[in-house]
Amino acid sequence: MPDFMPVAQTSDLPEGSSLLLEVDERLIVLIHAAGHFYALDDICTHDGGPLSDGPIDATDGTIACPRHGAKFDVKTGAAATMPATKPTVAHEVKVEGDQIFVRLND
Ligand code: FES
């Protein structure tokens, strides 16, 4: 299993925002929603849209694809609404002090 890698500072990511990162040659969207940090593959499973360009809804805990509006659970990557039906990959996140770490899942 890969190690946790330092990817950003908490100050880089105000509440309700997201940040596009490249981690081990993989595009990841880091999300700050409702006081927690999450990381997903920056890929909508409907047709590859960039989730990092979409709005976060902290109320239902989702991020929406900017192309056709599919929503994904920020915690699990599960497809919450059509037209996406398959999950995107969720990665592990931990915060120590001001440092955010991500451990990639396959
Ligand atoms: S590409 Fe994301 S909803 Fe279509």
Round to whole Å and give the CA distance between 99 and 42.
21
pLDDT for 105: 95
pLDDT for 2: 81
Those residues of the chain that have pLDDT short of 50 are none
Q: 34 phi and psi, to 5 degrees?
A: 50, 40
33 ligand 1 Cβ < 6 A: no
Reported as a single tens digit per residue, the pLDDT across 28-45 is: 999 999 999 999 999 999
Helix, coil or strand: residue 43:
coil
- Residue with the smallest CA separation from ligand 1 atom 3 is 68
Burial (0-12, 13-18, 19+ Cβ within 10 Å), 72: buried
- Residue with the smallest CA separation from ligand 1 atom 4 is 68
Q: Please state, in angstroms and as integers, the Cα–Cα distance from residue 43 to each residue in 3, 10, 40, 63, 89, following that order.
A: 22, 23, 8, 11, 9
The CATH architecture assigned to 5-103 reads 3-layer Sandwich (2.102)
Question: CA quadruple 10, 36, 65, 76: dihedral positive or negative?
Answer: positive
pLDDT for 57: 96
68 ligand 1 Cβ < 6 A: yes
pLDDT for 37: 98
Round to whole Å and give the CA distance between 2 and 44.
24
Round to whole Å and give the CA distance between 56 and 62.
6
